[in-house]
Amino acid sequence: MTTTPPVLAGAEPLSLPARPELTGGRRIGVLLTHGFTGSPGSMRAWGEHLAELGYAVEVPRLPGHGTDWRDLNTRSWADWYGEVERVFEQLAAENDAVVVAGLSMGGALSLRLAADHADQVSGVVVVNPIVATKRFDVKLLPVLKHVVPALKGIGSDIKKADAVEQSYLHTPLKAIHTLFQALKLLVPDLAKVTAPLLYLRSTEDHVVDEVSEPIILRQIGSTDVTVIRLENSYHVATLDNDAQRIFDESAAFVARVTAD
């Protein structure tokens, strides 16, 4: 019997209640999802900003994250999606409208939710989302994952000098292989995403390459799509120089798409 490692300080999930007196009497929920090898810490300031405006905010800790990278190597996309879907259904039951948002893999999970629950998702916000990659080593994952357990970490790609993401120093290969398998199934289902989309993309990103953007923007079923360039941030833009712009743009977006 394996023991789950303890959750690291700062990696705990965030759950903040709705304050309908600030949102015109309606209860509005926002689900924020962090990226692969990251933790809720990368979304905490964003979530707190939205909560101050009256929104119910949930930032779940995806299974295997915020503990030990070896723990993550025992988990899969099914575990991560199962957790965000559970939290989403809870938010949907308790609120009048729900917006889903995510960073990197969290963006992919948000798009999956919006495809599977199109009638319940009022809007989607993605920051540097991934649905594909041009990296050659990804093609080697089916074999490579049996040879080495992990490669160098991909976290904390941040331009801001004093900012650090709480993320693993290793990239667990069995876990990330399940991510890319799931992304292959997500891409053809992007047409099922019909909710308004706010797409925020860093002009310089050392983790997610440029191939995901045209796939998402070409295949998304949404007719209400807003694209914003983040000129002064790298991949983890929620902790970078453009964080406040993300907070402000997403807050305005949530208000617009959940208006009565």
> Which alpha helices (DSSP H) does the chain contain, by range?
44-52, 69-72, 77-94, 105-116, 141-147, 173-186, 212-219, 243-257
Please give the backbone phi and psi of residue 42, each rounded to the nearest 5 degrees, phi first.
-75, -10
Helix (H) or strand (E) holding 198: strand 197-202
Can you tell me the distance from the alpha carbon of 246 to that of 212, in angstroms, rounded to the nearest whole number?
A: 19
Tokens of 196: 């308004």
Catalytic status, residue 235? yes
Tokens of 86: 């559970």
Q: Which of 39, 42, 76, 104 is catalytic?
A: 104
* Other Cβ atoms within 10 Å of 181 Cβ, number: 13
Please give the backbone phi and psi of residue 61, each rounded to the nearest 5 degrees, phi first.
-95, 115
Catalytic status, residue 206? no
Q: Which of 235, 240, 242, 250 is catalytic?
A: 235
Tokens of 204: 């310089």
Q: Which of 157, 205, 240, 242 is catalytic?
A: 205
Catalytic status, residue 122? no
Catalytic residues: 104, 205, 235
